[in-house]
Structure 1
Amino acid sequence: MPKKVGHNCFQCSKLSTAEAQAKPCWDTVRCPNRRHYQRNKARISQQRSQSRPVESSGNVPRTIVIEPPIGTAISIIFYRERQDAPVHALAAQVWQGTEKVLKVEPMHCLGLSPAQVVEVMTEILKACSSELGVELTKFASKVELHPSQCPISSCPQWHHNN
């Protein structure tokens, strides 16, 4: 079983590169790779599992290649400090194959209860489904970014100068 990543490395993966490099624990050899892996863990694991050969015994069967249909997937982006911290903002992206076809602009969730955040997530799914004419029932992946990465220019918590 693989060793779990350290708590500090996990939290650091959510920060911008400049913020991460400012930390006293920054190692120019290890940290960039660890941050990349943490940010893309779900996609990397899926690619690994798909690329593993299937073990077979006996005769080697013939192989054919079938192009999979292009699927539609929606990713949710949480802006929060820790997984158990309140959600600062939400955003979403809809992908068809390798092409981003729809983007839900980030919206602040300051002051919303966890139940209200879930309602907003449900509304995002409904809105994207109706916009594309495809039924989206759940988020395919989850991305977590630090609130300092919040792109909303009028952000009261992180963009004091704007």
Structure 2
Amino acid sequence: MARRVNAKCQQCAILAVEEAIALHGPTGDNCWNPANEQGWGYDCHRRRSHYRYREDNNRTRRRLRKAVREGTPGDQRTFPVQDGEPMALPAPPSVYAAVLVLYRNHKDAPVHAVGAEIWQGDRQVLALSPMHCMGMRGNQVTDYIQSVLEQLHQQFGVSRFEDVIKQLPVEACPIQPCPLKTRIEN
């Protein structure tokens, strides 16, 4: 059986760290525990993180359990094992992944163009044609990326871009005419 939710810790998780220490530290009700019995770690920090992301973690667990339950015996791939016997593993669930594509010459350079790709497993489903970002400020580029993500969420149900960003040099920009590209070529 799962442990009961501590309402006091759940309310504390909503507060900023400074507010929580002021309310529950030595000047407050003195329940703040910065370290465990062994003298390492941060019990309250860990507990606050657990309560803060509890719904997201539970949602992920439910989704993974559902994917395992819905796996059919015919939907399996075989992989060789060390002793030569194949081992059947269920195929991963067919979910979509969004990859952000940035055209720029190095990590600290301004973004020249922004595109996106949708993948389902190892198959590319959609490649969004890039859009020039010349003249846009950083916050405008961020707003544009958010609007692209919202459209992808409506169409494919993706809620975020993958952690790895695909970065291509400006010379690979497919947009024609590209003023920066023609300047580089001349």
* TM-score relative to the length of structure 2: 0.49
- Partner of 2:112 in structure 1? 88
Equivalent position to 2:98, from 56, 70, 74 = 74
Deviation at 1:91, TM superposition (A): 0.6
1:11-48 C-alpha deviation (Å, 9 max, x unpaired) = xxxxxxxxxxxxxxxxxxxxxxxxxxxxxxxxxxxxxx
Equivalent position to 1:148, from 163, 171, 177 = 171
Deviation at 1:64, TM superposition (A): 5.5
- Partner of 1:127 in structure 2? 151
Instruction: Supply the distance in 2 between the matched residues of 1:85 and 1:69 (Cα, whole angstroms).
Output: 37
SS at match of 2:108: coil
Instruction: Supply the distance in 2 between the matched residues of 1:127 and 1:146 (Cα, whole angstroms).
Output: 26
Instruction: Supply the distance in 2 between the matched residues of 1:95 and 1:138 (Cα, whole angstroms).
Output: 13
- Partner of 1:138 in structure 2? 160
Instruction: Supply the distance in 2 between the matched residues of 1:65 and 1:131 (Cα, whole angstroms).
Output: 30
Is the 1:95–1:102 Cα contact (8 Å) retained in structure 2?
yes
- The answer to whether the aligner puts 1:157 opposite 2:180 as a matched pair is yes
> What are structure 2's unaligned runs of at least 5 residues?
1-78, 82-86
1:26-76 C-alpha deviation (Å, 9 max, x unpaired) = xxxxxxxxxxxxxxxxxxxxxxxxx9x9xxxxxxxxx65222211210111
Instruction: Supply the distance in 2 between the matched residues of 1:158 and 1:67 (Cα, whole angstroms).
Output: 43
- Partner of 1:111 in structure 2? 135
Larger radius of gyration: 2
Is the 1:153–1:159 Cα contact (8 Å) retained in structure 2?
no
> What are structure 1's unaligned runs of at least 5 residues?
1-50, 54-62
Indicate the percent of aligned positions where both proteins have the same amino acid: 32
**CA RMSD, 1 decimal:** 2.1
- Partner of 2:46 in structure 1? none
Instruction: Supply the distance in 2 between the matched residues of 1:65 and 1:148 (Cα, whole angstroms).
Output: 42
Letter in 2 for 1:143: K
SS at match of 1:110: coil
Deviation at 1:153, TM superposition (A): 1.1
SS at match of 1:127: helix
Letter in 1 for 2:92: P
SS at match of 2:155: helix
* TM-score relative to the length of structure 1: 0.55
SS at match of 2:165: strand
Instruction: Supply the distance in 1 between the matched residues of 2:140 and 2:159 (Cα, whole angstroms).
Output: 18
